[in-house]
């Protein structure tokens, strides 16, 4: 099945399909699906195919994978509209996140529809039309990231970028039976994003599987000086399912389903599934979370939305969707005193919420309390939209990360989903938990109900008492200096590659060694390496014995992780042979042995 990111990359590497063929297939599917409201603009097909054909490095983590981008995120040369034609502009450079996707081998297909200025959870507030929900076509597609979620669910692209300020990366995931990953704030750069609420925005990922979402997140994660809200927060490796998992659930009577018995039953069944998987359920008080959610639209944060479009509101108010205009104009009213009062209350609520997580690994909630038809939402646009945010509006205010997962198909044919929430920085931990739950449901993927792939094994990891070190040259398995690792009881974890940020040089040393130099992001090659785990004491002995011009620095891996590893002093490469094209020391030495 070449539908998931992992399967597409594997097919390209094995040459059973080419990146150009996969990109062409996406365009064919877009034409066949024939819903003009999904994409606001499509990239020229031949340009995209040509870019795919130019890819030459099969080690790239997203080698030839087509991706759709929500149209409030900049893609060079394509208009950014935020679903408002009067606001549109054409950026000359990619957003940071798009640049990182391209460097990882992804091919941008087009810009997707959204609730105008990312204001809404319904997907019906756009002059570009309402994307049809491919799972059940009378339901809203969810918003604001409507086009991105539908494009993934319908099989047009294997993953897509959304944004999430108040649930826009999670509610559409539930309504389209796909995965929605809402990362920790600041983990992905927002440089090149049209803001909704700058202090709360994050770029999110829609995909068919959790592993695909994490693979996409890994190449996008990382601090960025161009975004003042960016944080230097390493993603970390995919975590294994905990042996003693504790999940927080609201106290009896605290959940709200607005009379939707099927949603309530589906949530209860999801909790039973967690218990079958070995989780212990621990009750916590949801009321402080509800109070936080009320701050988002009843408090001064609406002023952030107003700030983005106040000039357009003043000059061309009719250019803005009526519902968006009604919500946003309220942002002109809060005073500075109102803002500080809300910030003080929020800080108190954050402390209360943080205590909830001392008793559990994560909390599990319905992604949304119910589902609504497009007709119902158009008739009652603000109230029903607000209901869909019952379990999402508080998340970014409390600085949590989230993972929305398909949980069931209801008897009425509507999807139901749950969301795992944890404190910021637990993204990989949530993925390790959530992937097991999703696989256990055996639900079909997206609207096409494709079979789930077998769950890949979690790679071996260093323990809490070990340090991971990346080796690229003579310390590789079977090479001249590997014994320096094995005599210190180091153990091999995995083979992987660096990000395309490095060049490799053959140094004039005995025994022969390479030197790996960090260059500008994306301007180098992906270099094969091995990750080894060793005790802290052994790591200290090993590092102390490293002779110049080599030293230990922080290596960025192709999947976004970081590890300590060998780098070379820049002065040492003068006159050294650039062997980056070999992709690694082992290939270079094998070629040299033939001479």
pTM value surpassing 0.75: yes
Task: Quote the pLDDT of residue 240.
Answer: 81
Task: Please compute the mean of the pLDDT values over residues 330-352 and round it to a whole number.
Answer: 87
Query: Where in the chain do CATH 3.90.1300.10 domains reside?
Result: 5-237+373-441
Q: Is the per-residue pLDDT at 1 higher than 70?
A: no
- Does residue 327 contact residue 117 with C-beta atoms inside 8 Å? no
Q: Phi-psi category of 34—alpha, beta or left, where left has phi over 0 and alpha has psi -120 to 50? A: left
Burial (CB count within 10 angstroms: exposed 0-12, middle 13-18, buried 19+), residue 368: buried
- Does residue 19 contact residue 64 with C-beta atoms inside 8 Å? yes
Query: Where in the chain do CATH 3.10.490.10 domains reside?
Result: 466-594
Task: Quote the pLDDT of residue 2.
Answer: 67
Task: Quote the pLDDT of residue 339.
Answer: 86
Fold of the 466-594 domain: Hypothetical upf0131 protein ytfp (3.10.490)
C-beta contacts of 409-413 below 8 A and 24+ residues apart = 409/177, 409/443, 410/262, 410/263, 410/266, 411/262, 412/262, 413/135, 413/136
Note the pLDDT tens digit of each residue in 513-541: 999 999 987 789 999 999 999 999 999 99
What DSSP assignment string belongs to 515-573? Answer: EEEE-STTSSB--EEEEEEEEHHHHHHHHHTPPTTEEEEEEEBTTS-EEEEEEE-GGGG
Note the pLDDT tens digit of each residue in 196-231: 888 999 999 999 999 999 999 999 999 999 999 999
Exactly one of 70, 132, 429, 513 is catalytic; which is it?
70
Q: Is the per-residue pLDDT at 158 higher than 90?
A: yes
With cut-offs at 50, 70 and 90, classify the pLDDT of residue 232.
Answer: confident
What DSSP assignment string belongs to 216-279? Answer: HHHHHBS--TT-TT-------PPPPPPTT-EEEEEPTT----TT-HHHHHHHHHHHHHHHHTTP
Task: Quote the pLDDT of residue 324.
Answer: 81
Please choose, from the candidates 466, 395, 461, the residue with its C-alpha nearest in 3D space to the C-alpha of residue 428: 461
Note the pLDDT tens digit of each residue in 443-485: 999 999 999 999 988 777 777 788 999 999 999 999 999 999 9
Exactly one of 26, 126, 144, 207 is catalytic; which is it?
144
Max Cα separation, the chain? 77
Task: Quote the pLDDT of residue 307.
Answer: 77
207 carries an active-site annotation: no
Class of domain 5-237+373-441: alpha beta
Q: Which residues pair with 467 in a beta bridge?
A: 534
Task: Quote the pLDDT of residue 236.
Answer: 76
- CA 139, CA 317: separation in Å to the nearest integer? 29
Task: Quote the pLDDT of residue 577.
Answer: 94
Task: Please compute the mean of the pLDDT values over residues 33-52 and round it to a whole number.
Answer: 98
CA distances, 393 to each of 200, 489, 585 (Å): 10, 49, 50
- Does residue 117 contact residue 20 with C-beta atoms inside 8 Å? no
What DSSP assignment string belongs to 41-55? Answer: EE--HHHHHHHHHH-
Q: Is the per-residue pLDDT at 152 higher than 90?
A: yes
Weakest mean pLDDT among 82-96, 268-282, 344-358, 368-382: 344-358
Task: Please compute the mean of the pLDDT values over residues 32-54 and round it to a whole number.
Answer: 98
Q: Is the per-residue pLDDT at 62 higher than 70?
A: yes
What mean pLDDT value characterizes the chain? 93
Task: Quote the pLDDT of residue 392.
Answer: 97
144 carries an active-site annotation: yes
70 carries an active-site annotation: yes
Q: Is the per-residue pLDDT at 123 higher than 80?
A: yes
- Does residue 367 contact residue 255 with C-beta atoms inside 8 Å? no
Cα angle at 491 between 485 and 493, to 5 degrees?
Answer: 120
Q: In the block, which residue shows the tokens 């646009």? A: 381
Q: Is the per-residue pLDDT at 246 higher than 60?
A: yes
**Between 326 and 426, residue with greater pLDDT:** 426
Task: Quote the pLDDT of residue 412.
Answer: 97
């Amino acid at each position: 099945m070449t539908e998931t990111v992992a399967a597409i990359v594997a097919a390209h590497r094995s040459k059973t399909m080419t990146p150009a063929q996969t990109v062409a297939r996406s365009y064919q599917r877009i034409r066949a699906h024939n819903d003009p409201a999904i994409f606001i603009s499509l990239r020229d097909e031949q340009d995209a195919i040509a870019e795919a054909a130019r890819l030459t490095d099969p080690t790239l983590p997203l080698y030839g994978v087509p991706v759709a981008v929500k149209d409030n995120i900049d893609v060079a040369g394509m208009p950014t509209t935020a679903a408002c034609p009067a606001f549109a502009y054409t950026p000359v450079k990619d957003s940071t996140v798009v640049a990182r996707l391209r460097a990882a081998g992804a091919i941008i297909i087009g810009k997707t529809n959204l609730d105008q200025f990312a204001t809404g959870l319904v997907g019906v507030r756009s002059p570009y039309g309402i994307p049809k929900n491919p799972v059940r076509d009378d339901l809203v597609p969810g918003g604001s990231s409507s086009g991105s979620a539908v494009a993934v669910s319908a099989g047009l692209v294997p993953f897509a970028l959304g944004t999430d300020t108040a649930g826009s990366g999670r509610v559409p995931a539930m309504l389209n039976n796909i995965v929605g990953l809402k990362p920790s704030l600041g983990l992905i750069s927002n440089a090149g994003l049209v803001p909704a609420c700058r202090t709360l925005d994050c770029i999110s990922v829609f995909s068919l599987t959790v592993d695909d979402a994490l693979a996409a997140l890994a190449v996008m994660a990382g601090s960025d000086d161009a975004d003042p809200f960016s944080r230097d927060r390493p993603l970390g490796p995919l975590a294994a399912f905990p042996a003693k998992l504790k999940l927080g659930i609201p106290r009896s009577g605290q959940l709200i389903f607005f009379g939707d018995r099927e949603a309530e039953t589906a949530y209860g069944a999801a909790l039973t599934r967690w218990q079958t998987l070995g989780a212990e359920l621990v009750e916590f008080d949801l009321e402080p979370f509800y109070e936080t959610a009320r701050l988002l639209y009843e408090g001064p944060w609406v002023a952030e939305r107003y700030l983005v479009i106040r000039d357009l509101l003043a000059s061309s108010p009719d250019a803005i969707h009526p519902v968006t205009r009604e919500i946003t104009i309220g942002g002109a009213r809060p005073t500075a005193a109102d803002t500080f009062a809300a910030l003080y209350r929020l800080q108190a609520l954050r402390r209360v919420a943080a205590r909830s997580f001392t008793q559990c690994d994560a909390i599990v909630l319905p992604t949304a309390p119910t589902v609504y038809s497009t007709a119902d939402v158009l008739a009652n646009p603000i109230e029903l939209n607000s209901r869909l945010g019952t379990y999402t509006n508080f998340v970014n205010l409390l600085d949590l990360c989230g993972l929305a997962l398909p949980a069931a198909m209801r008897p009425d044919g509507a999807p139901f989903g749950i969301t795992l929430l944890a404190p910021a920085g637990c993204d990989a931990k949530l993925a390790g938990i959530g992937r097991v739950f999703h696989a256990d449901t055996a639900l079909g993927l997206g609207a096409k109900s494709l079979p789930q792939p077998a769950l890949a094994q979690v790679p071996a990891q260093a323990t809490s008492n070990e340090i991971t070190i990346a080796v690229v040259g003579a310390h590789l398995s079977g090479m001249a200096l590997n014994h320096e690792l094995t005599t210190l009881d180091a153990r091999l974890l995995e083979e992987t590659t660096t990000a395309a940020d490095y060049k490799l040089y053959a140094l004039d040393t005995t025994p022969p060694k390479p030197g790996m130099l960090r260059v500008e992001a994306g301007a180098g090659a992906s270099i094969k390496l091995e990750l080894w785990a060793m005790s802290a004491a052994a790591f200290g002995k090993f590092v102390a014995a490293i002779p110049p011009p080599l030293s230990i620095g922080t290596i960025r891996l192709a999947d976004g992780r970081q590890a300590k590893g060998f780098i070379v002093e820049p002065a040492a490469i003068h006159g050294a042979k650039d062997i980056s094209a070999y992709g690694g020391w082992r290939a270079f030495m094998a070629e040299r042995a033939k001479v």
